[in-house]
Amino acid sequence: MAKIIMKTPLVEIDGDEMTRVLWDVIKEKLLFPFIELKTEYYDLGLVNRDSTNDEITVKSAEAIKRLGVGVKCATITANSARQKEYNLKTLLPSPNATIRAILDGTVFRKPIQVSRIKPSVNTWKAPIVIGRHAYGDVYKAAEMEIDSPGKVELLYTKTDGTQSKVLVADFKGRGIVQGMHNLDESIKSFARACFLYAIAEKIPLWFATKDTISKIYDGRFKDIFNEIYETEFMEKCKEAGIEYFYTLIDDAVARVVKGEGGFIWACKNYDGDVQSDMIASAAGSLAMMTSVLVSPSGVFEYEAAHGTVQQHYYRFKKGEKTSTNPAALIFAWSGALSKRAELDNTPELADFAKRLEKAVLGAIEDGTMTGDLARLSYPPPEKILNSWDFIDAVASHL
């Protein structure tokens, strides 16, 4: 059969460990037979990031800005154990955080639903999409260990030299302290991305913070969201038939576990990190969670919400074919191809992306699945497949 032609390349960002292994299998079995795949390739494997002093990460983000669409494999954010394991020169920042900062993007994470996998929360009828702010807070915090009594103060020095300060704590003994920040422009971009995504998907938008306690910090988020809504998106939301709703984060959690789903839940950086994992696990599996980074400028980066599946990789290196679920990795490719097709007006590519997703869901619905889903499936499957056999089954459906 004739292969589908792509007009414009998308940015392909390779990663680490088990997901890197499956990345190549997905391309070989599910993409190359059907598409003349055009990509601009960047290797963000940990060793290559280290050898380029992380310049490769910056280049990949700039490429996404230039080409409009990227697809990313999972990558390692190294700690001291990883530094020793990979003999790294230094501990580099999270590549996801670097890319998010350059693209000024917001991360939207959405569960992949299949009828055989019932969510833990039995009231959920539609997916809950987590919109995670992708800048600042604890991820750019300064920390200090306090080893003796003394005062810690927050000092602000303006460019004209004038200063103001506030007491953080009066330590009577050992302790710890952390200072974090955010930027009005980043919060505004976060709000705009959330409203644009909600209008595009035609689903309600929730936003939640703890402004009753953090009156200045969280209060600023609340005020900016409200300002952006009232000045830029109120009428557009009405035209789309969707609601914007603000509440406290603890109230939002209570509502989520009693509600039917079917909305975007906008969260600050750390809240979004934690709640997206909670939603994914409650919906079935972290490997059944899509993730897209949306920039207000109109560029998109698709990836799986999970990590590099470290323990499976160690078993793979010993010669074992593991039962790692590649569904979210496949959906990262389908999402990127679909967006590329939309921007390039290539309906054949858009149709292929839809059929690829249907093939994954069809395989699972037929009882063809990896171990993580087999434990949750009703009825249970007759056989648990390794990743390679599962991808072959998806290829058969495709």
pLDDT single digits (tens) 71-93:
999 999 999 999 999 999 999 98
Residues 17 and 104 in one domain: yes
We report the CATH number of the domain holding residue 346 as 3.40.718.10
Distance CA 260, CA 335 (A): 25
Residue-wise pLDDT for 153-201, tens only, equals 999 999 999 999 999 999 999 999 999 999 999 999 999 999 999 998 8
Asked if 246 and 122 sit in the same domain, the reply is yes
344 in the same domain as 248: no
Residue 286's pLDDT band (cuts 50, 70, 90) = confident
Of 238, 253, 283, the residue that ends a domain is 283
| Mean pLDDT, all residues of the chain | 94
Domain boundary among 219, 248, 283: 283
What number of residues does the chain have? 398
Regarding whether 276 and 242 lie in a shared domain, the answer is: yes
| Separation CA 46–CA 81 (nearest Å) | 13
DSSP 49-100: HHHTTTHHHHHHHHHHHHHSEEEE-------HHHHHHHT-SS-PPPHHHHHH
Residues 130 and 174 in one domain: no
Tally the domains of the chain. Answer: 3
Overall average pLDDT of the 115-123 stretch = 86
Domain containing 171 equals 142-179
Instruction: Give the chain's end-to-end CA distance (angstroms, integer).
Output: 13
